[in-house]
Amino acid sequence: MLIMFNAFWVLLKRDLLLALRRRSEVFTVLFFFLIVISLFPLGVGSEDATLKKIAPGVVWIAALLASTLALDRLFANDYVDGALEQLTLAPQSLPIMVFAKMIAHWLLTGLPLVLISPLVGLFYHLPTSTIGVMMLVLLLGTPVLSMIGAIAAALTLGLRGGGVLVSLLVLPLYIPVLVYGSGAISTSMVVGLSIQPYLLLLSAFMLLALIFSPWATASALKISLE
């Protein structure tokens, strides 16, 4: 048990260290998110009411696209240099190892989006309370994106043109998060409506993904490595 926990930490720290050595990969995702978001006011117009109306959807769609952009790197590097093969042969349960990689991936690609989202709120003239809600739902929703995405990334590992295939596989699966995530932000701008149901549903998605995705991803990796 202790060894397993140790290996979990070692892998998590390794992935963070690798990202630290190659910071550009983290920043590309973040800038992609910001650029997509700043394109919308240019195309749609910058009236206050319009911006407030589209903001929830825009934030979430940008987050979905940014997270799919980051997905093919989740296992691809380890696959190419053989580290993944060694990982599956390590004397630890593979789902636990996969979970460590998912957490590292979220810390590097999901969490930065959460932290930068107040800036988006300013772009779109959102009230402060709504910015708070936006950060909260992104905090609940982005881990789900990483975890569902990991399954698709594992399935398409080593395929030619896998990057596009990942987007096709994974974007439809992101729909529930998109619907309830942006729903929560829109609702928070209406006086008198509660956002609690949205938060509960998003939390439920997260728990569900937490339980199933490490196992599904581990099985998919084994298939991809054959």
Partner 1 sequence: MILEVKNLQCIRGDRELFTDLSFQLEANQLMILEGQNGSGKTTLLRSLCGLYLQDEGDILWDGVPIQKQDENYHRDLLYLGHLNGIKADLTVIENLRINAALAGNTPSLDVLMGALDTIGLYAFEDFPTSQLSQGQKRRVALARLLISKAKLWILDEPFVALDVAAVELLQTIIANHVDNGGMVVLTTHQEVPLTSGKIKRLSLNEKPLDDGEC
What's the sign of the alpha-carbon dihedral 35, 203, 11, 97?
negative
Whose tokens are 């990483």? That residue is 146
Stretch that binds partner 1, among 3-11, 45-53, 140-148, 175-183 (CB under 8 A): 3-11
Residue 21 lies near partner 1 (rule: CB under 8 A): yes
Q: Which of 18, 156, 167, 7 is nearest to 95 (CA)?
A: 7
Rounded-to-integer distance, Cα 120 and Cα 34, Å? 8
Rounded-to-integer distance, Cα 166 and Cα 75, Å? 12
Name which position in 27, 35, 88, 211 contacts partner 1 (CB under 8 A): 88
Name which position in 6, 46, 129, 203 contacts partner 1 (CB under 8 A): 6
Tell the smallest beta-carbon distance from residue 97 to partner 1 (Å): 8
Residue 90 lies near partner 1 (rule: CB under 8 A): yes
In the shown chain, the binding pattern of residues 95 to 114 toward partner 1, with x for contact by CB under 8 A and - for none, equals --x-----------------
Rounded-to-integer distance, Cα 91 and Cα 184, Å? 43
Closest to partner 1 by CB, 21 or 160? 21
Distance of CA 22 to CAs 15, 16, 28, Å? 11, 10, 11
Residue 16 lies near partner 1 (rule: CB under 8 A): no
Answer for the pair 99, 11: CB distance below 8 angstroms, yes or no.
no
Residue 159 lies near partner 1 (rule: CB under 8 A): no
Rounded-to-integer distance, Cα 27 and Cα 24, Å? 5
Rounded-to-integer distance, Cα 24 and Cα 30, Å? 10
Stretch that binds partner 1, among 2-10, 26-34, 35-43, 49-57 (CB under 8 A): 2-10
Tell the smallest beta-carbon distance from residue 20 to partner 1 (Å): 9
Closest to partner 1 by CB, 80 or 200? 80
Residue 5 lies near partner 1 (rule: CB under 8 A): no
Binding residues vs partner 1 (CB under 8 A): 3, 6-7, 10-11, 14, 17-18, 21-22, 77, 80-83, 85-94, 97, 225-226
